[in-house]
Structure 1
Amino acid sequence: MCGEAPRGEFAFDLPSQPLGAALEGYARISGREVLYDGRLAEGRRSSPVQGAYTAETALQILLAGSGLKADAKADGFFVLSRVPARSAAERGLRLSAADTHYYGVLQAGLRAELCGSHALPETGRIAARLWLSQTGAVLQARLLGSTGNSEWDQRAIAALRRLQIAGPPPGFAQPVTIVVLPRPSDGDDGCAAQRQSPTRAGR
């Protein structure tokens, strides 16, 4: 059931779907208007939004990876526009220099947060999907499976949600899938081995 949650948040349960339909569902739940040229929604799909979020955060999650962004206006509504397009070379199959650099930034941020939070699993791996805002905050983090220990699951998801890094480059594919391997048997991880390996987005 969808409705308003505490602290100005709303309970969303919107699956990935054609963008126009997702925006209609978003407006019904949040009561916020989203204005856009209908052609912007053609051929685009939304990212799923599940959980309690403010109206602004939920819209950022919904648009993640769509190539669109939302600008909040003083009267309380949002206006959609395109994220600046990449060059023809950047749209090729190979990662752009900006994407490659950002994956490195993301990996370093993950390592620092997981180490500092003592959230690296002793057994089992962490596999998760992250949705990032334009400022680099984690809007949504979802484990793709359990580490085998509910306590480690909770530590991992809490650490991932606290992650704060630089914002992604224009057109960066989302969500981002990350995999973190367990600590080695000798316990000497040093939190320096690069075991966090972001991969291209998977839906």
Structure 2
Amino acid sequence: MLSRRTLLSSLAGAAAAGRPKVYLFNIPAQPLRAALIAYAAVVGTQILYDARTAQGRRSHAVVGLFSAETALRLLISGTDLTILASGGDSVLVPVSDLRNRAGEAGGGTTLVLDTLYVDVPPGSEQRRDYADYGQRVRAQLLHAITSDPRTAKRIYTLRLGITIAANGTVGIARLTRAEGTAGVIDALQRVIRDIVLDRPPAGMPQPIYLTIIGV
């Protein structure tokens, strides 16, 4: 349990460093609509979605200090929803809707949105070096995936665990979800294995899980 002093110190430290503001969340896994209401109450911002989108879906638990964006991505992880930005608001839409829009526009492989979320191990949100490292991993992987012609502007959903050696080389420890053509999924794994990342902080728990969505 974080004390009030620890929480205020963490918030002030993030603001002073110019990093995104963090909030203390304690939202258990529950029906998605109720979880979104609880999320909005914490961050004071509105999440736009079709009421039918929330029906039958459950949220992921979000407990700890997170930025608003990271918390929302955690909240909907495991669902087929993704986040669009529209006029400063966050809009939840099913990935299938985005794919349909791309197809209707005559560009089935047009890149509408690329999302890569780095799920740092439980408790890591309280270690700023772990959280910062997770963001660097996200940026490096996203650049590699969107720059490679085999994986840019492709449709897929991939969730996997990776290990990062002291020299930055990457190994794939576990593949838990793979949706897309076999060629694209194979290419994604090759791009991830070929990248050399920054050296991980000493003692950081591994594997790190990634959720990557290309639509």
TM-score between the two structures when normalised by the length of structure 2:
0.47
Q: Greater helix percent: which structure?
A: 2
Q: Comparing both structures, which one devotes a greater share of its residues to strand? A: 2
Q: What TM-score results when the alignment is normalised by the length of structure 1?
A: 0.50
